[in-house]
Chains A and B, each alone.
Chain A
Amino acid sequence: MSWEVVIGIEIHVQLRTERKLFCANRVAFGDAPNTHVCPVCLGLPGALPTLNPEAVRLALRTALAVECTVHERSVWARKNYFYPDLPKGYQITQFEEPLATDGRVVFDVDGAERSVRIRRIHMEEDAGKLVHDRFPGVSAVDLNRAGTPLVEIVTEPDLRSPAQTRAFLAALKQILEYVDVSDCNMEEGSLRADANVSLRPSGSETLGTKTEIKNVNSFSGIERALEIEIERQRGVLEAGGSIDQQTLLWDDHRGAVRPMRSKEESHDYRYFPDPDLPTLRITPDTVARARSALPELPRARRARFVTEHGLSEYDAGVLTQTAATAGYFEAVAGGIADAKTAANWVMGPVLALMNERKEDATGFAVGAPRLVALLTLLREGVVSDGAAKKVLGLLATEDADPREIVEREGLVQVRDTGQLDAWVAEVMEANPDEVQRYRDGETRILGFLMGRVMAASRGKADPRQVNELLRSALES
């Protein structure tokens, strides 16, 4: 029988704040252990949390970027469990009354448009790190990360395949980067996704028993983990067995999932409102201001590029991949008032050069104004297309004006007819036989003569003009 796959996702996003969620320590990755800690994030007796407004701003931005309803009051709750990387013995999070609910993310997967509903978004603090590879026989605790602000984004079970899931996550990551709330670095753990997956007979409305896959740190990893788990479930179900609800850990090295040991699994979190923190209140006009401060989001920008700049869906997609690239393109297109040329250059030589130099549009050595200047020279015919590409390379290595480089490198095209006539005459004199063969009707020979003239000009002659002058000279 055929099965329908049902997938829901929980994403933890580390907010790009300067300080921790409930204390004044800096958020820092990779520093010496336990150097960004204080009484609050160490959970010392008597210490109390205070809420970082910057984290609230970024969380609000996140919620609006995925079209959530932001609630005027949301309530901090304690999630109680014991683990050495959790200093207070509870995590401060939001439970019954989260920051925001009912959003959606629209994205494309192999040509088709899909939409995933966002069930809720809440804020919470991150835990520290418990490492087992530091000392023999003992584990080690580093609490630098403890108290780092996170938002947890929970979707409805609207995804139907591992590929879709991957595409959704890519779309979500792109949105988060556009609104600039997180650096979305999966290796550093600033973006972490857990997946719930279950199977049900095609056509059935009731959900099957789900398992949860945790600990995946790449999009490809999630896709693979889901494929493997789906096959496992299919096998069990088709053998007439049943799935038991459990949490599975993804092992990236072995490329396999293993069940969490029951010890690692938690039973009863005893959530209750945190009496140390007042209700979080966000006024409607704070929400309004945050909404109007949102930048244009990827899909909207892509659509506009198609209608406003007359680009193909594909080109628009490439150029809106990141907000920086899109901004760079629009600056260039505006500067030369020619979107097509701007698109060809940005997607072609410019992106190629960026990759080669491992730069992105933000830090690209050739800023939009200098590229605009270069493309203007090209349009005016001052430089040839080939010369312009050569100049682009040079612009990346030195902070000079395109025109200077063109002149210094002697890349200006010669278009003075007197000089061109002289070269043409010189070549015709030097090659009487070829001239005769042309006049006898062997017009293919024109290319050879063109080449001689260009050679005589050491490549500087404007080929279009040479072609005209040579032809008229031969035919007179």
Chain B
Amino acid sequence: MTRSVTTRIRESEAGPEGLNAFITVVEESDVPTDLPDGPLQGVPVAVKDNIATLGLPTTCGSRLLEHYRSPFEATAVRKLREAGAVIVGKTNLDEFAMGSSTENSAFGPARNPHDRTRVTGGSSGGSAAAVAAGYVPMALGSETGGSVRQPAAFCGVAGLKPTYGRVSRYGLVAFASSMDQIGTFGRTVADAARLLEVIAGHDPLDATSIDRPAPDLTGALDRGVDGLVVGVPSEYLPDSLDPGIRERVDRALARLEREGAELREVSLPHSRFAIPTYYVIAPAEASSNLSRFDGVRYGVRTEGDDIGDMVEATRTHGFGTEVQRRIMLGTYALSAGYYEQYYGRAQRARGRIVQDFRDVFGTGVDALFTPTTPTTAFPLGEWLDDPVQMYLSDVFTVTANLAGIPGMSVPIGTLEGLPVGGQILAPWWREETAVAIGSVLESTLTEEVR
């Protein structure tokens, strides 16, 4: 059965209607036949192309790594294989996961299965599209600032971003190390949850992965929401919010209330600093994390007369516009004379955002519910020349990355034929709460999306 999957993907992707969801699809002949007897035995899974895999390229959507094959494998991928999953290919993404539309890929933009003239969202757009198109029931993505939840919302699938430290980052090519976290996509909340259960857990090779008992997510699927206190942060429902999206969110909230949840209006006053904070810290870390791409040890080298020329030429030709923009921004924010004004302030703002969540969850709130994005999937090219507008499509998602809390996006309806996502934010290490709420919403609201 799985053998035909890769072929089916090749055929669908080849046509003019191809989604360009994959950068690499596994040769059918390379699909292993004797699979370990694990929880995902025989299940086809797609992997975002910034996660290191043995035997397949790991390009990060970059020219610089066009032919790069990692000599080691990510811990999460090893766990997938041990669970019996079949890795069918590597999915398209914004270069080095920097973007919100999967248009910043050296291998062309991914297209939204619900409307091929629109973006998938990003940066894990390829994984979201692959699941939405039915190529695979589940896929790995990664988040630094909404890169799983936002494309999940745009493509009408479930996207789960675990607590920072829940999943090993070993083998995930770093963008902003203090926020990077591998996340999961599923056709259903159950699929996303099952996949996370497999990859979660402490890894001695990642000093930031935390030794905590793995959560029982499948057990939470039928828990329901009876007795749960769901907070609704006013900052995430501004008057400027698209009334269509507002209406879908209200419907979801009403449903939760009917199912026995208690709704409570809450405030996360520092959320307005989220985007500015994120766009200092993430680029600052990225400017350092991407320094290793100097053409000395791996990657596509562009020659030069002396070592300086070679490194400059390699990086200038290897990196795309958005990546260069963020490296510049981050280098500036860390450079002598500006550190305090930018990085220092951003670190403090991040502390306030963390405190906001501590305060709210400290008052007996079990989870928060918000829209995942301020808009539905936008047309390809719409915001390519307006970075700030592009960044703003993560306005509701980045706080979870800054604070390290788990978050999930589930489909809560459609607007003019395009999926609308609802976001559930849970306290640190409480993924099961998000899963419980997500599966209730899914079972009652998503018919029209599929």
Contact = CB atoms under 8 A, between A and B. Distances in A.
Interface in B306-334: 307-308, 311, 331, 334
Given A272-B334, A277-B207, A48 B294 contact: no
Contacts of A48: 169-170, 205-208
Contacts of B285: 272, 275
B205 A78 contact: no
Contacts of B72: 39, 44, 46-47
A433 interface: no
Interface string A264-306: 0001101110011110000000000000000000000000000
Secondary structure of the B side of the interface? loop
A84 B296 contact: yes
A45 B169 CA distance: 11
B208 A270 contact: no
B58 interface: yes
Interface stretch (A86-94, A109-117, A341-349): A86-94
B261 interface: no
A265 to B, nearest CB: 13
Interface residues of B, number: 45
Given A80-B334, A272-B343, A46 B174 contact: yes
Contact of B65 (A39, A45, A49, A270): A45
B350 to A, nearest CB: 12
Interface in B43-80: 51-52, 58, 60, 65, 68, 70-72, 74
A51 B174 CA distance: 18
Interface residues of A, number: 31
Contacts of B206: 48, 50
Interface in B390-407: none
A263 B312 CA distance: 14
Contacts of A141: 296-297
A141 B307 CA distance: 12
B75 to A, nearest CB: 10
Contacts of B294: 82, 84, 89
Contact of A47 (B65, B170, B334): B170
B207 A276 contact: yes
B207 A89 contact: no
Secondary structure of the A side of the interface? loop
Contacts of A49: 207
A259 to B, nearest CB: 19
Contact of A276 (B68, B177, B287): B177
A142 to B, nearest CB: 12
A84 B290 CA distance: 14
A12 to B, nearest CB: 22
A84 to B, nearest CB: 5
A42 B297 contact: yes
Contact of B71 (A44, A82, A87): A44
A84 B70 contact: no
A45 B177 CA distance: 12
A317 interface: no
A272 B288 contact: yes
Contact of B307 (A88, A139, A271): A139
B129 to A, nearest CB: 23
Nearest to A40: B205
B335 A268 contact: yes
Contacts of B1: none
A262 to B, nearest CB: 12
Contacts of A139: 307
Interface of B: 51-52, 58, 60, 65, 68, 70-72, 74, 169-174, 176-178, 204-208, 284-285, 287-288, 290-294, 296-298, 307-308, 311, 331, 334-336, 339, 343
7 A-B pairs with the lowest CB-CB distances in the bound complex, closest first: A89-B291, A275-B178, A270-B334, A275-B177, A46-B171, A45-B173, A43-B292
Given A45-B60, A89-B293, A275-B285, 16 more contacts: A42-B297, A44-B70, A44-B298, A45-B70, A46-B74, A46-B172, A48-B206, A50-B205, A80-B334, A84-B294, A84-B307, A87-B296, A141-B296, A268-B336, A270-B334, A275-B177
15 contacts: A43-B297, A44-B72, A45-B58, A45-B60, A45-B70, A45-B174, A45-B292, A46-B74, A80-B334, A82-B291, A89-B290, A270-B288, A270-B336, A272-B334, A277-B208
